[in-house]
Structure 1
């Protein structure tokens, strides 16, 4: 029973990963295996020193990560706490908030295109109604990152809400009752009893948020109709591998950098899991 899943994992995860590592040490335009040239660490050296888009892309990914950690993730936790109280219609609210997660990214992108459109977009129409000038939400480099972050947060909030809601269901009710008997307020009970019990969920949330912020690609591409100057690490991988001037080595090197960053958080997560397992 383990053979087929293991084989699929090797073929579609490990083999491409090791192939990317190997290609990152080469110079190749993707045409003809005999054209592959070994360059060692030169691609990495050039990426960190003379490749202009890399550092802005890394900065945008860091901003993406911090935004997700500071705004949609806490908001998802807040919604989970409210829905955990079994308020009337909680099932309907859960479905409505989680709906963007199950929608295809094409549909999500189309929805936010309608919201941000220059001519008849919802936001610009509202701005016109109050006498303000419309904003080029996706074409202006000063605001396009934040516009896409809001759209991405619409999906992320629902994802975080479900994770935290599942964690809250696993908190022992006797802990809350003991805190109430000791005279703790609801706020004290949450921050001193409930939230510490969510530690395993918090680790999962951090890992997922880091990976989501690094691989941000599809929604940006769909909403913007391309990238339109919005550099992201995933965009640089695509542009170098399947762009007009195909540079497989460069694209693979950036992909390996992304993989290494993700691996750090995954190792932390696995280490914590093994430490918490009973001996």
Structure 2
């Protein structure tokens, strides 16, 4: 039997890429990166630059400095209501819809009867776009033969669920949560299926009840899922647009930052620089929330 020399055995073998390997790497990595830069980061950087200009999309571009941001905060009445609505949307999804999705996932994970049926029914809204959900909300909540007012018997004096600025934002958040809950439920259900049963058995042997086992054993193991769900919740809340635009074009109590961007960029009076400033504000808030959440989650995972 041939013996391998110590020098050759201790030296790691280096794999040399052939031209074919390099071509495959360029195709598989280069094209997605180029598409990402062209579709995502290119427009993002362009919006940041345009936010400091005054441009109607046709004429010359004029440098405006911070004038767009100053007018946005001081001379644009819909801005602050839109900020409040976006924050309220985020809190509603994060504090009500997301925990409810986790609750449903825990119930189904316990092996209730017809669990597959419940999964399908609860996940079904996820395949619908928010614009379709908005149209469905109009059918259910409309004052003209709306299903909810019909069931309540409000024929002579129906409640204007979508026209009353004190009610419509809540109705839209509930409708959006209907879709969000199913998505969160599936993510947490997948995470619960991956939890080692031995951990639950060890907790039961130590005398922990079901509530203590879930919060002290199961939930900490779901930290990676929590990160994904948290990021998705922030994105869903801050990019909400189509559902309110389908109802009343995002007006009369349904103002959101995404709607203001659309109104200023492609509206009748095109103000691309001003709309870009709103887009930069939305981008900053989104990144701030996501980065803060990720830092807290990763710091907690490191301290464990």
2:106 alignment partner, one of 70, 74, 81: 81
- Once the 2 structures are TM-superposed, how far is the Cα of residue 273 of structure 1 from its aligned partner? 5.4
- After superposition, what is the alpha-carbon deviation per residue over 1:100-139, rounded to whole angstroms, capped at 9, x for unaligned? 011233432222211011111111001216x884111111
- After superposition, what is the alpha-carbon deviation per residue over 1:129-151, rounded to whole angstroms, capped at 9, x for unaligned? 6x884111111111010111111
3-state SS in 1 of match to 2:160? coil
Larger Rg: 2
- Once the 2 structures are TM-superposed, how far is the Cα of residue 274 of structure 1 from its aligned partner? 9.5
2:226 alignment partner, one of 189, 202, 218: 202
Uncovered stretches (5+) of structure 1, i.e. residues with no partner: none
1:24, 1:257 → 2: CA distance?
10
**Which residue of structure 2 lines up, in the alignment, with residue 134 of structure 1?**
158
**Which residue of structure 1 lines up, in the alignment, with residue 214 of structure 2?**
190
**Which residue of structure 2 lines up, in the alignment, with residue 179 of structure 1?**
203
- After superposition, what is the alpha-carbon deviation per residue over 1:194-230, rounded to whole angstroms, capped at 9, x for unaligned? 11222222222222111111111011111x1422322
1:270, 1:77 → 2: CA distance?
19
CA separation of 1:242 and 1:64: change in aligned 2, threshold 3 A: same
CA separation of 1:132 and 1:190: change in aligned 2, threshold 3 A: farther
TM normalised by structure 2 equals: 0.85
**Which residue of structure 2 lines up, in the alignment, with residue 19 of structure 1?**
46
CA contact (8 A) 1:127 1:133 kept: no
CA contact (8 A) 2:126 2:179 kept: yes
CA RMSD of aligned residues (A): 1.9
3-state SS in 1 of match to 2:153? helix
Work out whether 1:63 is the aligned partner of 2:88: yes
